[in-house]
Amino acid sequence: MRCGATWLLDAYTAANVTPNAIYELVTGGALAGVMVPLLVRVAADSDIDSDLFTRRLQLPYAVIAVTVITGVLPRMSRSAADHDLARITADLSQSLRLTGVVLVPVAAGLIVLGPQLATVLFAHGNASPAAAQLTGSVLAAYGFALVPFAAYQVMLRVFYALGDPRTPALLSVGVSAVTIVTCLAVTRLTSGPDLVIALAACSAIAYTAGLLVTAQVLRRRIGRVDGHRLLSTHTRMLIAATLAGLAAAGTVGALSAAAGTDWAGSLVTVCAATLAGGGLYALAARGLRITEFTSLTAALRIGNT
């Protein structure tokens, strides 16, 4: 019996690990085969390491979304063990709303302040101003991918909580396929530095498609994903972030000529635009009754007392 149980455990482990291993080998190699030559080709003509072009989403996603996922995943797993699908839906909805209330304005900030942020962060040493500006344009393009990427990753964790690693692997294959196809398509349409910006836009397209498909698959699996509440909340977040982005863009336009576009001027512009945009986002979030923002600020106040 012990040997039989061990064999079953080994078979179960292999069945769960194999799809992810195949995904890593196939899509990882395919993406590398498409993306790396393109990035290296463009990076050869600039002063910025090509690795900078591929990691723009990771910091805000890691700080916000991974923190939320880490806190909620154990509870989701317990709910899955109890077959409490309503609780899983509630946890998923809360995770997406808490992630969105922070990442939506961050994405707006990347879109509006990408060139200035890149100048502050990267216009040092051997990096030329032109290369920093290119990196800023890539940052802005990746801003459109940030929220779909984070929401897609949060949704995938529900399948893991349900003990199903195969579906995330298959969905990831689909996202990788969309990325590869769109990347190959843009190489026919553009070249040079514009190609790097287009590749970042391909990520936004792929993760948006992945998010929509994952939501439908997840809906069939758990019954509902609280779609009406998520749509209503994220619409209000988008309105608040748009107002904040307009305020930040106005600040950039007003200060660029006076402060300049060098490192010091960009730093002043980023600080002023962040204050203007962040302040308006806070006011708009309260006016639009985004309860997640109120809960977040209340938690921050409690944490500082």
**Per-residue model confidence as pLDDT tens digits over 31-67:** 444 444 444 444 444 445 445 545 555 667 666 777 7
pLDDT score of 127 more than 80: no
pLDDT tens column, 255-270:
988 888 888 899 999 9
Of the candidates 163, 150, 268, 264, the one whose C-alpha atom is nearest the C-alpha of residue 214 is 150
Return the pLDDT at 55: 56
Does residue 4 register a pLDDT over 80?
Answer: no
- Check whether 17 has a pLDDT greater than 80: no
pLDDT exceeds cutoff 90 at 192: no
Summarize the confidence of residues 81-100 as an average pLDDT: 92
Interacting residues of 248 by C-beta distance below 8 A, sequence separation 6+: 108, 109, 112, 113, 273, 274, 276, 277
Let me know: does 213 contact 156? Beta carbons within 8 Å: no
Tell me the pLDDT tens digit for each residue of 142-190: 899 999 999 999 999 999 999 999 999 999 999 999 999 998 999 899 8
CA atoms within 13 A on the CB side of 149: 25
pLDDT at 253: 92
Please state the pTM of the whole predicted model. Answer: 0.80
pLDDT given at position 197? 86
At 249, the pLDDT band (50, 70, 90 cuts) reads: very high
Assigned token pair, 10: 């080994």
Residue 161 backbone dihedrals phi, psi, to 5 degrees: -60, -30
Q: What letter represents residue 62's amino acid?
A: A
Q: What is the pLDDT of residue 62?
A: 66
State the residue for tokens 């600040």.
251
- Work out the average pLDDT over 80-103: 92
Give the residue with greater pLDDT, 174 vs 29. 174
Backbone angles phi, psi at 220, to 5 degrees: -70, -30
CA distance 251 to 246: 9
Higher-pLDDT residue of 281, 191: 281
Instruction: Give the E-state strand segments of the chain in sequence order.
Output: none
- Tell me what the pLDDT averaged over the chain comes to: 80
Q: If we measure between CA atoms, which residue out of 72, 31, 38, 58 comes closest to residue 172?
A: 31
Mean pLDDT of 120-125: 76
Rounded to whole angstroms, how far apart are CA atoms 57 and 70? 18
